[in-house]
Amino acid sequence: MRREQSQSLCVTDVEPDILSSLPGHIIDQILSLLPIKEAIKTSILSTKWRYKWATLPNLVFDSQCLSEGSDDLLAIKNKLSRIIDHVLLLHAGPIKKFKLSHRELVGVTDIDRWTLHLARRPVKEFVLEIWKGQRYKIPSCLFSCQGLVHLELFNCWIKPPSTFKGFRNLKSLDLQHVTLAQDAFENLISSCPLLERLTLMNFDGFSHLDIHAPNLQYFDIGGKFEDISFKNTSQLSVVSIGLYVNFESNQSRFHGCSSNLVEFLIHLPHIQRLEIQSYFLKYLALGVVPGMLPAPCTDLSFLSLRINFNDSKEISAALCLFRSSPNLRELEILARPEEQSVAHFWEDVYLDWPVMRVQHVRIDGICGIKPELDFIRLLLLYSPLLERLAVKPALNVKPDLTKELLRFRRASGRAEVIYLDSV
């Protein structure tokens, strides 16, 4: 009995466990779904798992790296630094992605050392988000990472070295809350020939946006700037622009018959989605707005406008876009009320309203004033393919607005008018 039992135990000892028998690519897939802290813990599962985490190609250091319970910022910083040092020291494979983003993270000198370590590896994605404190100056060694395909920086001061010739392989650039000199910005954009996606949010140091990017397809910007121009951007198909500062027409740098609207769209021949936010429509309305653009936006299918219905120039710019977009299918209008309202002769502004092929419309934030209602009335009257018009009013709007909307004639027999609750 003892001999048989001993043999049975011996056989059991040599049998592989389920975790150890998993194929390598399955283990890699499991580890890729875990936070880095949990991935390191798997080293205790078996001999086969012991150093598997050290070959992870994507290293993400965020709030999930640390256990909850510590409110000491210095302790959090020190613990996070130890974790990153430990991982980079033992990491044995290529690093495809490095992301550092923690809500308590401030710019520390350790970041310079980690960036230098990554600059010696073929890293493709680099994400650095500094959530607290002053803007962190990016170390010059980052600009030698020519393998970068995606770069994302938050709350950083960017000052490329004089020897920087651009990121030759970069396809995606996301800069938010950054400081960058005017010449450095222009050089950065123009020297990334493969750039396809560009995001700029809340920046300073430059105010003239000259975008020279032959492969750019997606552009999202929100901030304070004086002017914007595109050069060699015929591939741009998705554009979202928000100008976060109001200004008067007499502050424009344009004079005579110049039109910001024409200059803006002339270099976007294949635009498909256009979002005009904050005060950017006021910028586009500067100069002499034509009845139609020199070349129609034949690919434009979605248009979003934030508009002041008390500004006849903005209304004229919107109508010019409508007339120049024969294939527009979705329209979003967001009312932007101003403190000062000026009466206009709306009959002149709305002359020659175009017949539109729009199918779905959403209008948000209206108060029920006459210019808004005139806009909706003509939209319903000249949209024979309209299927749905959703209206969401601003707070404290008069209750009879619904009745006024339902009385408007509709060119489309299928048009459904939906009144959304403002709450």
Q: Are 265 and 272 in contact (CB under 8 A)?
A: no
pTM of the model: 0.85
Confidence of residue 300 (pLDDT cuts 50, 70, 90): very high
Phi, psi of 84 (to 5 degrees): -65, -45
pLDDT exceeds cutoff 60 at 25: no
Per-residue pLDDT, 3 = 42
Based on its alpha-carbon atoms, the radius of gyration of the chain, rounded to whole angstroms, reads 28
Interval 369-410: pLDDT, tens = 888 999 999 999 999 999 999 999 988 777 778 788 888 999
Which segments within 202-301 are labelled E, that is strand? 208-212, 218-223, 227-231, 238-243, 273-278
Half-sphere exposure of 382 (CA within 13 A, CB side): 16
> What count of other Cβ atoms lies within 10 Å of the Cβ of residue 398?
10
| Alpha-carbon gap, residue 97 to 60, rounded angstroms | 8
Q: Are 372 and 398 in contact (CB under 8 A)?
A: no
| Alpha-carbon gap, residue 383 to 414, rounded angstroms | 11
- Structure tokens given for 345: 């002769």
Interval 122-170: pLDDT, tens = 899 999 999 888 899 999 999 999 999 999 999 999 999 999 999 999 9
Higher pLDDT, 270 or 44: 270
Q: Taking the mean position of all CA atoms in its chain, how far away is CA 28?
A: 30
pLDDT exceeds cutoff 90 at 87: no
Mean pLDDT in residue range 317-337: 96
Sequence-distant (≥ 6) Cβ neighbours of residue 332 within 8 angstroms: 302, 303, 304, 305, 361, 362, 363, 364
Under the phi-then-psi rule, with left for phi > 0, alpha for psi from -120 to 50, and beta for the rest, what region is 365? left
Higher pLDDT, 318 or 108: 318
Helix (H) or strand (E) holding 178: strand 172-180
